[in-house]
Structure 1
Amino acid sequence: MTTERRTEHIPSGRLRPNPLAPPAWLLAGLRPSRAPVPWAAAVRAGIALATPLAVGFALDEPEYGALVSMGALSGVIGDTADAYRMRILNIAVPQFFGAVGVAAGTLVYGHGWLAVGVLTLIALVSGMISSIGTVASVSGLLLLLNAVVGAGLPMPEPWWTAPLLLSAGGLFVLALSLLGWPVRGRLPERTAVAAAYRALADSLEAAGGPAYEERRQQLTQALNQAYDLVLGRRARVHGRSPSLVRLQAQLNALIPLVEAAPAVHLRGRPLPPAVPAAVRELAGTVEAGLPGAPVPDLPAPRSPSERALDSALRYAATTARLPEPDPYNIDDRLGRPAALRVRARRTVRDTMLSGTSWRYGLRLALCIGLAQSLVSLIQVERSYWVALTVTFVLKPDFGSVFSRAVLRALGTAGGLVLAAAVLSEVPRGWWDVPVMALLAMLIPVFSTKGYAFQTAAITPVILLLSDLLNHQGFDLILPRLVDSLIGCAIALIAGYLLWPESWHTRIGARLADAVDDAAGYVERAFAPFADDAAQRAARLSRQKARRRIYRDLSDVRSEFQRALTEPPPTGPRAAAWWPLVVAVERIVDATTAARVRVNHGAAPPAAEEVAALRDELHGLARGVRSSPTLKEVRVRPLPPEARESVLAPVHQEVVAARAIAQPER
C-alpha cells in the first residue's frame, strides 16, 4: 500500500531513494485514481450551473444567476448517491443547512467582532455534526461554507434573497437528478445487488490464486454498498413492498455463497469456470428484475467446501427465480426501520456527548475564528477565501489534514491558472454561460481523480461566480492564491500541529478492536446450540458478526489510506501495521471456512481448542493495543494437537499474525 519513491542508479549497482524526489505521501495524493468518467453527472453539472447564469443574463440580473449557480455547485458536490431516495437526502437536507448558513452570514456581513463570533459558533456546530454520518457531514460543510460566503461577499437585499436563490440552485440539481426516477426508480438498488453478485463471481474465479484477497476486498465493498442502498430505502418504506422484499431476499441469498468462498479458496485449486459463470448469470437475472433460468449443470461436489458452495449456489438461484419471496421469511440483518430510527437518535445523542466530536468542533472553531479575525479585524486586504480554505482543508472525515492542506494549495494554484485564462480572455456576459458549462462538467470528472484535481476544477468555477458578484475580474487571481496559502497555514498550525492527536495514527487501537471482534467471532462460530431455533439464531449471529468485522476492517483500510498520506513518522508507522490488517482478515476467512466445513461433514473442534484460539486472539489484541510500534507480542508455535483439526488453518493464521506483530530483532 505504500507508494514507492523514484530511484536512481548508482555505480555500485544498488538502488537508493532519490533525495530530490517528492515524498511518497505527496505522490500518493497527486497520482490520479482510476475511475470511470461519470458522463451523466458531468452533463447534469454543466446544465445545472450554466442555466441559472443564462436566465440571469436574460433578466439582466447576473448577480441573481450567480447565486443560483453557487447553490447548484453545492448540490453538484453533494450528489454522490446512486439511489434516488438517497439523492433527496444528500441534496435537499444539506441545502437547508446551507440556507441557514448564508442567512446567518448575510446578517453579520461587515459587523467585525459579531461576524467573528457567529462564524466561530457555526464552525463549532458544523464540526460536531460532521461525525454523525455522510449527510450530516455534507450538511455541516455547507452550513459553514455558506456562512463564510455570506459574511464575506455583498449579498442582495433583503436578507432572505440569498438563501432563497442558493436553495433554488440546489433544488434545481435535485430536480435534474430525479428526472430518471419514473423510468429508473428501482434500478440503482438492483444494480448494486447485481454488482455484489458479480463481485462474488470475480472472487470465486480468483479462489485458490494470488488475486483472491483483492477480489474479496472488492466483494466486501460491493456488499456494503448494496446493503446500504437496500436497507436505506427499506427504512423509508412503510408497509409491504414486494420489489424491496425480493431485493433483500436476493441480497441475503449471497451470504451463504460469501461464506463458502474462503473454504473454496483454502483448497488452493481454482474452481471450474462454470461456477463463477453461473453466479454471473444470476447477476443478470437480478439486474433484469425477472425470474431467471435454473442453475446449469455443475460438477458433482466432492469435499465439504464444494458441497457448501454447491448448496449455496442452488439456494441463491432458487431465491433469484422467485417472483415474490415470502416477506415473513426474510432475514433482517441490520434491523427494522424503527430500529434504524432508534439508532439514528442514539447516534445524535452519542455525538453530542462525544469528546472526539467536541475536540474536532473546537479545532474547526479555533481555525475559523482566526481566519475570520484576520479578514474582519486586521487592516489588511484579505477575503472570505481564507476561511473558505480552512473549511475545505480541516475535514478529517475527508482525509489527512496535512496532505489536504498541501494538495489544496497545489490544486488551487492549478485552478487559478485556468481561472486566469478565463478571466483575462473571456469577456463578461453571455460568453460566461458556455464557459461555465464546460468548467462545471470538469467537477464530477476531476472529483473522481483525487482531492487536488477536484480543487483545481472547483476553483475557477467559484472565482467566475465571485467575479459576477464583486466585478474584480483578473485582479482576483493573485489575492486568492495568497489567501489560500494563508488558510492552509492556519489549518496546518492551529488545526494540526497544535493538536497531537491529529498527527498520531489511530490504527493500532482500531485494529486491536478488530482482533477482539475476531476472537468473539471464533467463539461464536463454534458455540453449541440446543435446538433448531437456537441453531438458526446462532447462524444469524455469526453472519452479523462476520459482516460487522469485514465492515470494520474496511473502515480500518480507509484509515490506513488516510494515514499513509501523512508525513513521517505517522505514515511509515501506519504502513507497519498493514500486514497485520491482512492477517486479521485471513483469520476471519479461515474461521468462516472452518465453520462451513463443519456444516458439511467435517468433525467439529473441541471446546478447549476454540477457547485457546479465542484467548490467543485476545492476547494479540492486548499486545497490539499496548504497543504503538508492533512490539511486545510474542510468537507461539502451532500446538501439535491442532495440526489435524478443522481449525488448523485458523491456528496457522493466528501464528502468522503474531509473527507479523513480533518486534524486529
Structure 2
Amino acid sequence: MSREFPIGLTPPDWLVRNLQPQQAPLNRPAIARAAVAMALPLAIGLATGHTAYGALASMGALSGVIGDTADAYRMRILNIAIPQFFGAVGVTLGAAVYGHGWYAVATLTGIALVSGMISTIGAVASVSGLLLLLNSVIGAGLPLPGAWWLAPVLMSGGGLLVLLLALLAWPLRSGVPERSAVAKTYRTVADLLATCGDDPTAAYDAARQAVTQSLNQSYDLVLARRARHHGRSPELTRLLAQLNAITPVVEAAPAVHQSGQPLPPQIRETVRHLAQAVETGYTGPIGLDLPAPTGETTRAIDHALRHAAEVVTAPDVDPRGIDDRLGRPAALRIRTARAARNVLLSSGSWRYGLRLAVCIGLAQILVSTVPVARSYWVALTITFVLKPDFGSVFSRALLRALGTVAGLVIAAAVLSAVPRGWWDVLVLLLLAPLIPALTPRGYGYQTMAITPVILLLSDVLNHQGTALLLPRLVDSLIGCGIALVAGYLLWPESWHTRVGDRLAEAVADTATYVESAFGKSEAGTVTAGAEVDPAARARMRRRLYRDLSVIRTEFQRALTEPPPTGRLAAGWLPLVVAVERIVDATTAARVRVKHGAPSPSPAEVTQVALQLRELSKGVRESEVLVEVRTDLTGPAESVLEPLRQEVAAARAIASPH
C-alpha cells in the first residue's frame, strides 16, 4: 500500500524548480583552463615570495573563468578582455575611496547606477558592468597590497591568462565552433523530422523548440564573427549559405506533421549525413537515397533536401544575396552603438540602474554605521543577486543563501584541515574546475563552487582561517535580505510576469506573418496575387520563432517565482503553445501552396488576421479575452482550415466561455 506525504510536507513547485539542477554537458576544456588559470598565479606568487600578489591575480582569473562561456574564439576575446578593462577601472576607483566613509558610499552608489544601466546593452556589456561594480566593491572594502596601479594590473592579468589559455588552440581550431554549431543545427532538424506525424504532439513541440534554439545559436555565432571580419570570408559565407539551406526543410516540417504521416527513415538519415559533411567541410558528390515524393508535403521535403545537399557539398558559394536574406551583419555593430546611445533615454535602463544603486547605497550606509565584519561581502552579494539581466531576483537570493551555506561547509573543511602554503595550490587545482562544471547546473551550484575558492584566496590575503566563515554567512544573508526588500518587493515590476505583454506582441506579429505568407499587406488588407519577398518572409518567420523562444524563457523564469507570480505565469503556457502552433500552421499552409495546393482567397486571409489581432488586443488589455464577434469559418478543403482550427483553439484557451 502506497503512502502519501501530508500536503504540508510537500515542497511547492516553485521551490522544486529552483533547486532542480539543469542538464548540461561538461565543458572539459573550460574545466582544465579554470584549474590552470587560478592555480598558476598563486603558485608563482608562492615561488617568488609574493603570495598576496598571486592571490590577487587568482581573483582576477576567477572573473575570467566566470566569463569563459563563449563558443567562438572571437567572442571569447570580447567576453573576457573587455570586462577586464572595466574591472581594472572598478578596482582603481574602489581603492581610491577605501576607508573614506561617505565618499565610498557615494562612489559605489554611482558606480552601481552605471553598472545597472549598461547591463541592458548586451551580454558583453552586462559582464562588463558586473565586473566594474564587483571590483570596485573589492577595492573599497579590502586593503590591497602594493602601489595603486598594482592591483588592477594583477587582477586584469589573471583574467587575461584565462583568455590566453582559451586562445591557444585558435590556430588549429579556427572556425570549428561555428561549423560544429551549424552541424548541430542539421542534427536537431533530423530529430525534428523523426517526430513529424507521430503522436504525442509533445515530442514534436520539444524537437521544434530545440531547432529554434540551435538556429538562434548558430546564426548568432556566425553573424557575430562575420560582422567583425574584415572583408568577405568564404568560410563564413559558406556557413551562412548552409544555414539558409536548412531553413526550407524546417519550414516543411509543420506541413509533414500536420499530415499525420511519418517520414521514411531515409529522410532523417540524409539530414544527418549532411550534418557530417558540414562538420568535416566535405565538398564533392554525395549520394541521396530519397524515396519518391507522393504529395505536396513530401515534394516540399524532397525539394528542400536536394537544395540543401547542393549547397552543403558545393565547392564554391555565391556570396551575393546572403546579406540581404539574413539582414546585413553590419547591423550588429549599428545595433550595439544605437543601444549604447539610447541608454540615457531608456526608462528601463534607469529603473534597473536605480534599483541596483539603491541597494548598494543601503548596503554601504549599513556597513558604514554598524560594525560588520568583512563588510564588503554585503555589497558583493547584492551585486550578484540583483543584476537585472540575470533572471529572477527572488530565485537568485534564495539560491545564493543556500549555495553559500553549502559552500561554507566545503570551505570549513579546507580552512581547518589544509595548511597554508603550497597545499593551497593543490586545493585550487581541485576546487577551481568545479566552477565551470557546476555553473551550467544553476546559480545555487555556482555559488557553492565559488564560495570556498573566494574564502581560500581571502585567507591567503588576511590569514584569518575559519574566522572567515561566520562573517561570510552573516554578510551574505544581509545582502540577500537587502536585495529582496529594496530590490524586489518594493518594485512591483519585478514580481509581475511579462509573459502576457510579450505574447500579445507575438500574436500581432503572427497576424502580419499570415498576411505576408499569402499576399501583400497594405493598410490591413491583403492584395491577392502580390508576392512578398521570400527573404523578408523567412526573416519574419525566424524572428517570430525567436520571440516565442524568448517568451518561453521568460515563462520558465516566472515559474520559479513564489505565488502569485508563478501561479499566474503557469496559466499562460497553453496560449504560448497555441501561438507556436498557429505559426506552424501558417508555415505549413504556405509550403502546401508553394507545392501545388490552391491558394486561399484574400477574404480568408483577412479573416484569420483579424481574429489574431483581436486575440492580441484581448491578451494585452485583460487577463480574459473579450468576446470575438468575427465568424471564423471557411471552406473545409482550404489550406487555411488547420490554421483556422488552431486560431479557434487559441481563442478558446483565452476565453472564459
**TM-score when scaled to structure 2?**
0.96
Aligned to 1:179: 168
Q: Does 1:100 align with 2:89?
A: yes
Identify if the C-alpha distance between structure 1 residues 243 and 659 changes in structure 2 by more than 3 Å, giving closer, same or farther.
Answer: same
What is the CA–CA distance in structure 2 between the aligned matches of 1:405 and 1:650, rounded to whole Å? 44
Letter in 1 for 2:49: D
Percentage of matched positions with identical amino acids: 65
3-state DSSP of counterpart to 2:155: helix
How do 1:144-293 and structure 2 match up within 5 A?
A: 144-209=133-198, 210=200, 211-293=203-285
What is the CA–CA distance in structure 2 between the aligned matches of 1:638 and 1:336, rounded to whole Å? 41
Aligned to 1:563: 558
How do 1:420-459 and structure 2 match up within 5 A?
A: 420-459=412-451
Q: Does 1:645 align with 2:634?
A: no
What is the CA–CA distance in structure 2 between the aligned matches of 1:528 and 1:605, rounded to whole Å? 13
Is the 2:324–2:535 Cα contact (8 Å) retained in structure 1?
no
3-state DSSP of counterpart to 1:602: coil
Deviations 1:475-506 (A, max 9, x none): 00011001010000000000001111111111
Deviations 1:330-387 (A, max 9, x none): 3544433433222222222233211111001000000000111222333443511100
What is the CA–CA distance in structure 1 between the aligned matches of 2:300 and 2:415, rounded to whole Å? 65
Q: CA deviation at 1:22?
A: 2.3
Q: CA deviation at 1:174?
A: 0.2
Q: Does 1:484 align with 2:479?
A: no
Q: Does 1:659 align with 2:648?
A: no
Corresponding residue to 2:534 among 528, 534, 539: 539
Alignment: residue pair count: 647
Deviations 1:106-155 (A, max 9, x none): 11111100000010000000000111111111111111111111111111
How well do the aligned residues superpose, as a CA RMSD in angstroms? 1.7
What is the CA–CA distance in structure 2 between the aligned matches of 1:333 and 1:374, rounded to whole Å? 56
Aligned to 1:13: none
Identify if the C-alpha distance between structure 1 residues 509 and 639 changes in structure 2 by more than 3 Å, giving closer, same or farther.
Answer: closer
- Any gaps of 5 or more consecutive residues in structure 2? 522-528
Letter in 1 for 2:299: R
Q: CA deviation at 1:201?
A: 0.5
Deviations 1:248-285 (A, max 9, x none): 11111111111111111111121000000000000000
Q: CA deviation at 1:469?
A: 1.4
What is the CA–CA distance in structure 2 between the aligned matches of 1:614 and 1:640, rounded to whole Å? 13
Letter in 1 for 2:22: S
Identify if the C-alpha distance between structure 1 residues 78 and 402 changes in structure 2 by more than 3 Å, giving closer, same or farther.
Answer: same
Letter in 1 for 2:95: T
Identify if the C-alpha distance between structure 1 residues 489 and 299 changes in structure 2 by more than 3 Å, giving closer, same or farther.
Answer: same
**TM-score when scaled to structure 1?**
0.95
Aligned to 2:503: 511
Corresponding residue to 2:402 among 410, 414, 439: 410
Aligned to 2:335: 343
Identify if the C-alpha distance between structure 1 residues 408 and 103 changes in structure 2 by more than 3 Å, giving closer, same or farther.
Answer: same
What is the CA–CA distance in structure 2 between the aligned matches of 1:235 and 1:227, rounded to whole Å? 12
What is the CA–CA distance in structure 1 between the aligned matches of 2:161 and 2:612, rounded to whole Å? 53
Q: Does 1:323 align with 2:315?
A: yes
Is the 1:108–1:114 Cα contact (8 Å) retained in structure 2?
yes
What is the CA–CA distance in structure 2 between the aligned matches of 1:95 and 1:637, rounded to whole Å? 58
Aligned to 1:369: 361
Q: CA deviation at 1:632?
A: 3.1
Letter in 2 for 1:393: V
What is the CA–CA distance in structure 2 between the aligned matches of 1:292 and 1:34, rounded to whole Å? 38
Q: CA deviation at 1:300?
A: 0.9
Is the 1:109–1:150 Cα contact (8 Å) retained in structure 2?
yes
Q: CA deviation at 1:472?
A: 1.3
Identify if the C-alpha distance between structure 1 residues 343 and 482 changes in structure 2 by more than 3 Å, giving closer, same or farther.
Answer: same
Aligned to 1:4: none
Corresponding residue to 2:466 among 474, 499, 502: 474
- Any gaps of 5 or more consecutive residues in structure 1? 1-7, 11-15
Letter in 2 for 1:652: Q
Q: CA deviation at 1:399?
A: 1.5
Is the 1:637–1:655 Cα contact (8 Å) retained in structure 2?
no
Deviations 1:437-482 (A, max 9, x none): 1110000111111111111001111111111112211100011001
Is the 2:607–2:632 Cα contact (8 Å) retained in structure 1?
no
Identify if the C-alpha distance between structure 1 residues 380 and 320 changes in structure 2 by more than 3 Å, giving closer, same or farther.
Answer: closer
Deviations 1:27-83 (A, max 9, x none): 111111122122111111001100001000001111100111111100000011100
Q: CA deviation at 1:535?
A: 7.8
Is the 2:615–2:625 Cα contact (8 Å) retained in structure 1?
no
3-state DSSP of counterpart to 2:282: coil
Aligned to 1:622: 617
Corresponding residue to 1:83 among 65, 72, 76: 72
Letter in 1 for 2:576: V
Is the 1:78–1:91 Cα contact (8 Å) retained in structure 2?
yes
Is the 1:635–1:659 Cα contact (8 Å) retained in structure 2?
no
Q: CA deviation at 1:635?
A: 6.4
Q: Does 1:134 align with 2:127?
A: no
Q: Does 1:583 align with 2:578?
A: yes
Deviations 1:391-448 (A, max 9, x none): 1110232121011111100000000100011001001100000101111000011111
Is the 1:113–1:377 Cα contact (8 Å) retained in structure 2?
no
Identify if the C-alpha distance between structure 1 residues 92 and 338 changes in structure 2 by more than 3 Å, giving closer, same or farther.
Answer: same
Aligned to 1:119: 108
Q: Which sits farther off after the overlay, 219-228 or 284-293? A: 284-293
Q: CA deviation at 1:638?
A: 7.3
3-state DSSP of counterpart to 1:404: helix
Aligned to 1:401: 393
What is the CA–CA distance in structure 2 between the aligned matches of 1:500 and 1:331, rounded to whole Å? 42
3-state DSSP of counterpart to 1:253: helix
Is the 2:91–2:138 Cα contact (8 Å) retained in structure 1?
yes
Q: Which sits farther off after the overlay, 466-475 or 166-175? A: 466-475
Aligned to 2:54: 65
What is the CA–CA distance in structure 1 between the aligned matches of 2:480 and 2:76, rounded to whole Å? 31
Q: CA deviation at 1:227?
A: 0.1
Letter in 1 for 2:625: E
3-state DSSP of counterpart to 1:111: coil
What is the CA–CA distance in structure 1 between the aligned matches of 2:331 and 2:387, rounded to whole Å? 30
What is the CA–CA distance in structure 1 between the aligned matches of 2:631 and 2:460, rounded to whole Å? 71
Q: Which sits farther off after the overlay, 174-183 or 343-352? A: 343-352
